[in-house]
């Protein structure tokens, strides 16, 4: 949750880390998170905004078999929610994201970093 300057000094807004939602209280943000972003990794407790991102995270970060299986079977999922494209490599996925969905390098890299980050338990 990010703090964002409000309309005046006395009125601060909180912005969701996963979407464009903003609110005035931490209670409102907690409710929003519970209702809209409750896809939590069972391995590292990282919170994702949807089931697809959680699935990609689990496969690419925590599944030791993923690297081996992805050499033979297309396993890298497109980041776009309603796209079912699979590729053999992250590079192929990146090219798909650019060519088909018109994402730029920064957007693709940001998504990769978000998916691959883990929550430190210490």
Same domain for 17 and 32, yes or no, is: yes
Same domain, 32 and 45: no
User: How high is the pLDDT of residue 122?
Assistant: 47
- Residue 54 inside a domain? The answer is yes
Look up tokens 């905004």; give the residue.
49
Same domain, 19 and 62: no
- Which pLDDT score is estimated for 97? 98
pLDDT score, position 76: 98
Distance between CA atoms of residues 23 and 51, nearest Å:
24
Tell whether 24 and 68 lie within a shared domain. no
Residue 108: inside a domain: yes
In a domain, 55, yes or no: yes
User: Computed from CA positions of residues 49, 113, 63, 102, in that sequence, does the dihedral angle turn out positive or negative?
Assistant: positive
Ranges of H-type helices in the chain: 26-36, 51-57, 66-69, 90-101, 105-116
**How many separate domains does the chain show?**
2
The residue range of the domain holding 30 is 2-36
Residue by residue, pLDDT tens for the chain (122 residues) are: 555 544 435 578 899 877 889 999 989 988 988 887 788 899 998 888 889 999 999 999 999 999 899 999 999 999 999 999 999 999 999 999 999 999 999 999 999 999 998 865 54
The pLDDT assigned to 10 comes to 58
Residue 121 in domain: no
Residue 122 lies in a domain: no
What's the pLDDT at 4? 52
**Helix, strand, or coil here: 49?**
coil
């Amino acid at each position: 949750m990010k703090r964002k300057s409000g309309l005046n000094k006395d009125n601060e807004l909180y912005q969701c880390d996963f979407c464009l939602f903003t609110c005035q209280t931490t209670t409102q943000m907690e409710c929003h998170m519970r209702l809209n972003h409750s896809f939590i990794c069972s391995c590292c407790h990282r919170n994702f905004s949807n089931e697809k991102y959680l699935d990609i995270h689990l496969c690419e970060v925590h599944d030791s078999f993923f690297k081996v299986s992805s050499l033979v079977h297309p396993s890298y999922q497109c980041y776009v929610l309603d796209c079912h494209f699979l590729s053999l490599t992250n590079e192929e996925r990146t090219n798909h994201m650019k060519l088909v969905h018109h994402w730029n390098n920064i957007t693709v890299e940001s998504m990769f970093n978000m998916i691959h980050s883990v929550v430190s338990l210490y």
